[in-house]
Amino acid sequence: MLARLTAVVAAVTCLAAGCAGGQAPPAPTGQDVVRLRPTVLAEIPHDRDAFTQGLEIADGVLYEGTGLRGHSEVRATDPATGAVRQRVTLSSDLFGEGITVVGDRIWQITWQEGVAIERDRNTLAERRRVAYQGEGWGLCHDDKRLVMSDGTDKLTFRDPRTFAATGEVHVHDANGPMTMLNELECVGGAVYANVWQTDRIVRIDPGSGAVTAVVDLTGLLPEADRANADVLNGIAAVPGTDEFLVTGKLWPKLFRVRFATAG
């Protein structure tokens, strides 16, 4: 009995001290997390055949990665009209996931195939492939490193040239680990993440992994437009503004929004 009690005390002490990877940061309290709601500024047509996995704006072009085997693509579109200017299709054995722009390149990850594809940004043509371990969900670039999600509470940092893992952080709120992190957007020193199967986006401090804000987008897509639509997924910061484009898988619309404190 004494041995068991000692083991339990040691385990609790280890958890409190953060034995895995050093001291764990304190979880934020409910008061620390900002509650936000979107203010819709514009509605833009979106191809409702697009199973949106990644969304990012660079130099006036909206880049979109889509999923499903046999239907996965990377597209360059007009962010004002939603018109597709350019597209390339993945081979049918690959399930496309998140994308991000790095200079003159685009990185695209895949779901369970462990393949990252580096593309030429101007032509969208494949330049090379790099292998990685685990699943791929979301991807963004914070000007220094890539940030990648895999459906767990973990964000993995990667070298933007080699795609090699360079570190990680575990995302948490006051209730514990935050999992199901999907499409990512790096902006303003934070990481925004769609939480899969919900109408929420969370803002994450990439230094500590703490969730600092939650955006509730419930009801953003009107009921009249929900036929055959899938979950919310896709967030792209509009450069030079405090606005975002958001959408979902198989949604007929993109929404240009600004996040404001919930009343």
Round to the nearest angstrom and report the end-to-end CA distance of the chain.
53
Kind plus residue range of the DSSP H or E element containing 16: helix 2-17
The structural domains of the chain, with segments of one domain joined by +, span: 32-261
CATH of region 32-261, choose from 3.40.50.10810, 3.40.630.30, 3.40.50.300, 2.120.10.30: 2.120.10.30
pLDDT at 58: 96
Q: Are 129 and 118 in contact (CB under 8 A)?
A: yes
The three-state secondary structure class of 15 is: helix
Question: Quick one: tokens of 90?
Answer: 């993945």
pLDDT at 262: 74
What is the pTM for the complete model shown? 0.86
Please choose, from the candidates 100, 105, 87, the residue with its C-alpha nearest in 3D space to the C-alpha of residue 147: 100
pLDDT at 250: 95
Cα 105 to Cα 122: distance, rounded to the nearest angstrom: 8
Mean pLDDT calculated for residue range 229-247: 96
- Cβ neighbours around 127 below 10 Å, total: 12
pLDDT tens, residue by residue, 96-119: 999 999 999 999 999 999 999 999
Please choose, from the candidates 180, 131, 130, 117, the residue with its C-alpha nearest in 3D space to the C-alpha of residue 154: 180
pLDDT at 31: 52
Q: Are 246 and 217 in contact (CB under 8 A)?
A: yes
